[in-house]
Structure 1
Amino acid sequence: MARGRLRIFLGAAPGVGKTYAMLAEGQRLRALGTEVVVGFVEPHGRRPTAAMAEGLETIPRRTLRHRGARFTEMDLDAVLARRPQVALVDELAHSNVPGTRNAKRWQDVEELLDAGIDVVTTLNVQHLESLNDVVRQITGVRQRETLPDEVARRADQIELVDLPPEVLRRRMVHGDIYPADRIESALTHYFRVGNLTALREIALLWLADRVEEGLQRYRAEHGIVAPWETRERILVALNGGPEGETLIRRAARISARTPGTELLALHVVPEDGLTHVDPSVLDAQRTLLESLGGSFHQTTGEDVVEALLQFAEAENVTQIVLGASRHGRVASLLRAGVGERTIKGSGPIDVHIVTHEEAAASATLRLPRPGNGMGPRRLGAAAAGAVVLLPLLTLLLTVVRGPMGLAGALVLYLLVIVVVALVGGVVPALLAAVAAALLADYSFIGPVHSFAIERPDEIVALVVFVVTAVLVGTAAGAAARHTRQAARAIAEARTLSRLAAGVLRGQDLPALVEMIRENFGLSAVSLLERDPRASPVPRWYVVASAGDHPPERPYEAEVESPVDDLLTLAARGPGLSSQDRRLLDACAAELGLAHARGRIARPAGVGDPLADAERTRASLLLAAGRDLRAPLRTAEDALGRLRRRGGERAPDERRLLETARAAVHRAAQLVTDLDDLSRLHAGALDLYLRPVDLNEAWGAALDDLGPGGHSIVLRLPAYLPDVIADAALLTRALTALAADALRHSPPGRPPVVTAETHDGRVAIRVADGSGGEGAAVAGRSGSRADSLALRLSRDLAEAMDGSLRTSGRGSAFTVTLSLPSSAPGRPRRGRRPARPT
């Protein structure tokens, strides 16, 4: 029996019309004579959606009881017994009620597909497992129902149902998505324009990747190697030299001429995993590339041209931009340059050679620099050289036999052996010495063209030649080996010295981790710390990370270097040699010292009586909050029902009702904050430390404040780096600080928010407009600094490796929140502030 086909209508957010599109497709198939049944559809009270389902055969749902409540789910057995050609099943990522055969609806769909039934379904992009954390960072909401990406990848057809954010928000205002009591909250939280735009971009990019995967799979199945110019992809080859910026700008100008062009840059790291260029130069070039809309990549390979062309074929590159060769004419005659070899092997890929100031800077003859290892490639090159050079030299000496005697021939043979030793080491040199002695005996010692020797002095000459060749070849091979070892030692010393200098200068851990990633050519690196409390499953926290998709658990890494029992360095990237692993262990130890130094510098507060009193006070507040949770929830529900109940009310009564409802909601939120704070102190609150856009965080905080947040003045720099924080906790801390400043600011003097970057940290200052003399403010600062709002913000900041301090300056009370920057010393282009100044 053939497996059924799966078609998914994918949306970026609820309300874009996925269910409506699925039902419309069902109606179209039914009109064509296809057997279509509705296995499960959830219209969510939307009349147009329910109307579109009319006329379609619907399988009755199955009713189940769970914890005293009744729920309905798709009746899988009934759909299988009906055996339609097509089944419409809504909400693919839905979790079934306990008691059903499968825990997830996608597992029900798999059974339908295995039975040969085609399925049309719906899915929101935030439910994809790989994007769950990204969506949480953007929206502050963790999706509990997730779908493995592999299930969606196996779909035969994925169709995007898309709406612009403004249109979706209009639908929300008109009541086409949520009930009236949920509209205001949705518009100010999940359905903000920034959130919807980001989710829409994520959906488009994810679907574009699936289309690209399908194209690559088709080309692989049909053996198509030549790139297809579905869109222009321009690749810049960077060697770490100063000409890199010229090449990037030239490639960006080429890219700008064709809309939709993708700009990439590649740096090939030597096979030993250590870069031999200044990382700061590559760092500056990557910053320039990203500012021009490009993406930076690194790969490892012994041969630059081969690695470059393999990457170009894998990424379907259509054009390559190279710098003109630095070698002079004589050197170019001995060995073809990278540009010439790339042009010969590029096939249909266009290659641009760009001139620069460093091109042909010197025309001196330079011998090829010995490589960094004696791998099969170098041994093969040495053997090939001996096989070619020795017969060629023998033929040449045979032609000019008159002026050249046996002694001269042996000297020239010895020169070839030295070259072979330099390239391939001792073993090829020994074999070349034996072969040279046999060729000399056969061609120049009588009787000629035989291996017999008539004269004793010629025997002595051959023996002396072989011994000399062995000694010289051994010495040359050892010298080459020692040269490579010295170069390796210099590279290792340079790596460790840079890292140690960064530690001594007080660089933040993210910068040190990025330095390690650059030096070893790794794709992603994380410094992970394990929760010291015993638990069945160890819990790990990301202390610092660098690269794309850094590992969050040791088992997710391809390379792991433990520092101690609680700290480990995890990395993704090419496999490292044993020497590289030892060097990585040393770098990990340096990171451990830097991490310990930061901890020692932080006030521990262990054994402090004030800290003990604070913990006791927090536990009492937590107990009281838990006792108040149920009555507050009951009061909030009762006020909500009174508010929704119809009938005429006096203005004062409505105002009092709204005031009471707001007060109860604030008290309930305070209890929730206290609960989260206690879990944070106990280490039970999950932290997701990632780069967070400060402008987006402030936008979310001001939206949470409601109309009062519009009066706050934001004076944030146009270019501000991201901060390393948990997006949800940062928003909560900023909301608490802003609300406290609003409460203490007189009318007409709103709070002012500023920010600046210093020493790899971002300082956020919230100053209210409280009146009075400076002495009076300073006198109040002690009691106000102990308020619950500021204590909550301080604890949240410290949980994210930040700090919070208060001060009374002039007529204003100022709170300064300091957090680590994601790009210390290198501001990243940010978005404009969410509020006008």
Structure 2
Amino acid sequence: MAIHQIDSEYSPGRLSAPPVEKRRGRLKIYFGYADGVGKTCAMLHDAHEVRKDGIDVVAGYIEPHDWPETAALLEGLELLTPLEVSYKSAISKEFDLDRAIRRKPELILIDELAHTNAEGCRHKKRYQDVEELLCAGIDVYTTNNVQHIESLNDVVASITGIDVSERIPDSVFDSADQIELVDIEPDELIERLHKGNVYQERSARNLPTIFTREKLIALREIALRRAADQVNRISLQNCEQIQNGGSYANEHILVCLSSVPSDAKVIRTAARMADAFHGTFTALHVEMPEISAAANNQTQINEHLRLAEQLGAQIATVYGEDIPGQIAEYAKVSRVSKIVMGRSNHTNKWFSKPTLVDRLSTLAPNIDIYIIPDSQSSFHLGLPKYTKSVKFSLADSLKTIGIFAACMLIGLWFNSLGFSEANIITVYILGVLINSVVTRGQIYSVISSVVSVLVFDLIFTEPYLQFRVFSGGYPVTLLVMLVSAIITSTLTKRVKEQARQAAQKAYRTEVLLETSHKLQQAGDELEILSETAQQMAKLLDRSIIFYSVQENALSEPMVFLKEGSAADTQVYFREDERLVAEWVYKNNKRAGATTDTLSAAKCLYLAVRGKDRVFAVSGIVMEKEARLGVFEKSLVIAMLGECGLALEKEWLNETKKQITMQAQQEQLRTNLLRGISHDLRTPLTSILGNAGILVSNSEILNEEQKTGLYTDIYDDATWLIKLVENLLSITRIDNGTMNLDLQPELLDEVIEEALLHVSRRSAEHVIETILGDELLMAKMDSRLIVQVIINIVDNAVKYTPAGSHITISAKKDGQFARIEITDDGPGISDAAKTKLFDMFFTADNISADGRRGLGLGLTLCKSIITAHGGTIYVKDNTPQGTVLGFTLLAEEVDVHE
């Protein structure tokens, strides 16, 4: 797998924080049953009303009908300059989406929601422009007619006789925050038409056929019912939110798809039914294993799948030759309550056979089946209208000729041995069976069967070398042989195709399971993306691109080329491709090749999302490649979902670590402030008091008393200085800003230097040094090790009574030098030993001067020794006391110096 990555600042394992969730805009649709009811005027009138309340309103795009009333209402509103798009030597004016987003008003007015944009615009449909505006936090007022709703298209077409090509998915209409029905009487609308208030360029005789009283009444009824359904849906949703209830019902509507054009009507009917029952909607396509669909049929199936997706259906695909059996089995497993399908009105004049509905009723008697009749050919039992592509290849032709020649030689040999004709027929049937196994096209098996029958009749039946098979039992024998040959070849081909499909499904399932397993073991973001890309490339046999999200922006692309690909990766680093990926990241929607958004891109870009944020963008190279199948698309979405969950889990772990670190820092700050407020108060108060006595009573104090006060001030100041030095040293070490200057040093000299700076109270103790070798050297930063020895000795002096013995010893221990400070004081409890080197830990016993301290000295010692690559430890001294020791890397003495 070739991996190309260009990202100089990429840091694996660090997922950026998600962007702050933006407010989503609100959508209001002015809904009518025909042109001329006053939708645009109502929208403009409401815009003026909200503008009076201080709302920033912009007219994004209003259809230029040159109506005086519309022009009057546009006065006083800011009109956005339209985008001029040149296409086929013509200039088309379209809504300028980028200009609107840059302007970013509070409310924007856009006419004709179902409009199809000209070539060159970002989106194919205007409702997609509106969706992007809503995602940008801009409220939208728009207009739409009943004939432009996808699920009502066939119903309206049956009334008006006009098939409207500009339509919006039902999901867009249903997701509107407010629907305002703009309604007038049909007679009043017709009067407007005759006065030229709707179509000024048309005369009363040249009006569309839709404008008859009967048709307008029917359209008005449909619009009223659709608006009422929307109000009812919103009311039910609000009630459900208040009651915290579940779904409306457990209805599951299943629509069966085929390549028949009339299935579009079936899909829309099923969508309306699912909407009416508030149920789940699934579209099922049964693929035949032994038949390959023609290009036009496959295109029709893809259109039906796309329509079902637009209407909110979940797409499912099953494989098998028994169509009703596959549908019934899927319906039982998926708990389908209602099945919707089309039925042809054509009947077979010669013989009748069970239809799909009859078989399905028998196999699934407990499921309601709804039949949508149509005059066109529709889905029925038997094979759909597929065309078999006949393809000849030289290799398969040579195989067929070779097998046939072998059968002829064996037949002649059997004939010379006196074998019966039944044995010779078996040889030819076996040859046909072998031919069907080793060749790809069924045409070779059919040709082999027919030629075998003719050759057998010509060579092995009397009269020889003549086609005379009408005597005796030869006709029956030849017919049986021909039928047997065709059946065996057909069954063999079917088994091979089923085995191929089973292996393909098993492979795809294995890839999906393998992806889940690898993502669970991935250690950081880069590894998660890499594993996902490699699995996608393996599944699709296409090159994959990934953009990770770093600091709320896309990183440089990571390209994962498919096996054997020698493509120029620079084409995927172009600015136009990156802009598509950025659009996907910002809008959390798919875009690019094979979509209606930025379709000129070379890749199909999909968002890798978690629960409510986008963690990365994936690109699938589609250049010169066929579009993804339904099953492949489902697997890709599942893989990206697994990737999104893994990235979200990684982000949550990183967030948890940051929260834990912040809690620790907060605890550290609290302890430090508590220590400063308590432990520093005593020496500061002492210094202040002693200084005050010296200032106020200097004349009455003798020299001995003054010396005592000076000594106390000096001791307290020294204690404070050491405390501040410890704090600063710990900060530098933890931040990584302290640079160690490691040099070979004599331990004798380092210990001697440290004893010069220990506490003055050390004179009350007996301190001795024992060295196993006076020339013992260790690699160290001497100034830091001096501070370690001072802290440990001061600790021993502080917590042991006067007159105690303190011993500093150093000896060679393998490749290390071991330094130990031993005392014969009261010792340390076992519980305290486990926390002795923790920050802000102080033992229960109080020092001789009554100061507990902040508990930073031994913590600093541990940090310094760890930075040197050594270890620090504590243990009991025998028979009494404590041993504090540490190790440093020993250095050999060069005797030649």
Q: Which has the larger radius of gyration?
A: 2
Q: Shared topology, TM-score over 0.5?
A: no
TM-score after normalising by structure 1: 0.31
Q: Which has the higher contact order (CA 8 A, sep 6+)?
A: 2
